[in-house]
């Protein structure tokens, strides 16, 4: 089950041939548009792309963007349990692109109402008995107001809980099985780490402070590192391929990791799978997913080399 902040990612592609006479800005002649699930919705889509089943609980507006997002998710095989909030609008990120370069991003968002969040909590309670693992995708849009209660309920049900965090308030993630910050987010919380030893020390200190079982740190070109409460660590080097776009790569990591762990994989195999999937999606434009076939091919190529 994926719970968190969903959004619709819109892309407007066009060419730039001139500068506006009204202001010193490029004029984009839009020729193509695309729409894709974003945020927690992208996480859910990545889960189903691997062949796993996924329940998605979140909030959308009673609007065209919410309807479009629901249609896209249904096409990906996601079990959508999206509560429509008439008092808010679906979060939309609009990116204006030219020659595969992002010129501008426009965000449209508003927080969900208290009543709708209570409905999400009830949906969550009802779904717990149907899932093997719970994944929280926090984008700071207000959809996880009941995070602490949800984590407690999942742990009582003896389910592993993975959290993709946002911001510096880790108290709300207390007792999660695993948190998955990237290095920038991690250092914003604990301070700059100028060596692997410092990084390790502060990761284990954070695990002890908040009662996590482990912490997965995504380290960009340095790969990924898993720090565990028993003091052991696993490190996986980055995939050696050209980086095209890192948008949504973190979503792919946690989706692949959760799917692998839910299927019974050990930490090492799950980490390898997640790292391989991330290496695939950074070679694609925008929010994307890695299929089972693509991952199998990438692993075979790695073994051959």
13/86 Cα distance (integer angstroms): 31
Q: Can you give the pLDDT at residue 279?
A: 79
Residues 6+ apart with CB under 8 A from 116: 59, 83, 84, 85, 87, 88
Judge contact between 213 and 229, C-beta under 8 A: yes
Q: Can you give the pLDDT at residue 298?
A: 82
| Total Cβ atoms within 10 A of residue 200 | 17
Percent of the chain with pLDDT over 90: 77
pLDDT digits (tens, 9 = 90+) for 112-138: 999 999 999 999 999 999 999 999 999
Flag the least confident range among 219-228, 280-289, 293-302: 280-289
| Total Cβ atoms within 10 A of residue 82 | 20
| pTM flag (> 0.85) | yes
pLDDT band per the 50, 70, 90 thresholds, residue 294: confident
Q: Can you give the pLDDT at residue 246?
A: 54
Pairing of strands 26-39, 6-19: antiparallel
Which residue among the candidates 17, 164, 251, 266 is catalytic per the annotation? 251
37/73 Cα distance (integer angstroms): 7
Burial class (CB in 10 A: 0-12, 13-18, 19+), 174: middle
| Alpha carbon 109 to chain centroid, angstroms | 18
Is 251 annotated as catalytic?
yes
156-161 mean pLDDT: 96
Residue 174 tokens read as 């207390």
> Average per-residue pLDDT in the chain?
91
Residue with the bigger pLDDT between 301 and 255: it is 255
Q: How far is CA 235 from CA 32, 189, 221, 226, in A?
A: 41, 21, 13, 6
Judge contact between 286 and 36, C-beta under 8 A: yes
User: Residue 92's closest CA among 12, 13, 14, 37?
Assistant: 37
Tokens 């009662």 sit at which residue? 211
Q: Can you give the pLDDT at residue 223?
A: 77
| Total Cβ atoms within 10 A of residue 290 | 26
- Please provide residue 135's backbone torsions phi and psi, each rounded to the nearest 5 degrees: -125, 125
Tokens 């990120």 sit at which residue? 93
Radius of gyration of the chain (CA): 19
Q: Can you give the pLDDT at residue 61?
A: 96
The structural domains of the chain, ordered by start, are 2-7+38-92+109-304 (3.40.1190.20)
pLDDT digits (tens, 9 = 90+) for 19-73: 999 999 999 999 999 999 999 999 999 999 999 999 999 999 999 999 999 999 9
Pairing of strands 79-85, 55-61: parallel
Q: Can you give the pLDDT at residue 224?
A: 86
- Please provide residue 290's backbone torsions phi and psi, each rounded to the nearest 5 degrees: -115, 125
Q: Can you give the pLDDT at residue 286?
A: 65
230-241 mean pLDDT: 80
Q: Running DSSP on this structure, what letter comes out for residue 170?
A: G
Reduced to 3 states (helix: H, G, I; strand: E, B; else coil), residue 212 is: coil
pLDDT digits (tens, 9 = 90+) for 206-225: 999 999 999 999 876 677 89
263-279 mean pLDDT: 89
């Amino acid at each position: 089950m994926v719970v968190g902040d969903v959004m619709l990612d819109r892309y407007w592609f066009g060419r730039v041939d001139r500068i506006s006479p009204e202001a010193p800005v490029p004029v984009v002649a839009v020729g193509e548009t695309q729409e894709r699930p974003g945020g927690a919705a992208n996480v859910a889509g990545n889960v189903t792309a691997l062949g796993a089943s996924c329940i998605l609980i979140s909030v959308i507006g009673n609007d065209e963007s919410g309807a479009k997002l629901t249609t896209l998710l249904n096409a990906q095989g996601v079990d959508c349990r999206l509560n429509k909030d008439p008092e808010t609008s679906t979060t939309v990120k609009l990116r204006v692109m030219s020659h595969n370069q992002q010129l501008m991003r426009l965000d449209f968002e508003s927080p969900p109402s208290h009543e709708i969040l209570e409905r999400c909590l009830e949906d969550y309670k009802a779904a717990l008995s149907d899932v093997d693992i719970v994944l929280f995708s926090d984008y700071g849009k207000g959809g996880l107001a009941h995070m602490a209660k949800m984590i407690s309920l999942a742990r009582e049900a003896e389910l592993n809980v993975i959290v993709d965090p946002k911001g510096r308030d880790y108290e709300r993630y207390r007792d999660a099985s695993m948190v998955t910050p990237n290095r920038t987010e991690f250092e914003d919380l604990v301070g700059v780490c100028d060596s692997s030893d410092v990084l390790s020390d502060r990761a284990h200190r954070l695990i002890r402070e908040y009662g996590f079982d482990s912490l997965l740190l995504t380290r960009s070109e340095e790969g990924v590192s898993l720090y565990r409460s028993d003091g052991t660590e696993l490190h996986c080097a980055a995939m050696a391929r050209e980086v095209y776009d890192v948008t949504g790569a973190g979503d792919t990591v946690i989706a692949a990791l959760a799917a692998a762990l839910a299927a019974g994989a050990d930490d090492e195999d799950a980490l390898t799978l997640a790292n391989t999937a991330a290496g695939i999606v950074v070679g694609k434009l925008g929010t994307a997913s890695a299929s089972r076939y693509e991952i199998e091919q990438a692993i075979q190529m790695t073994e051959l080399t």
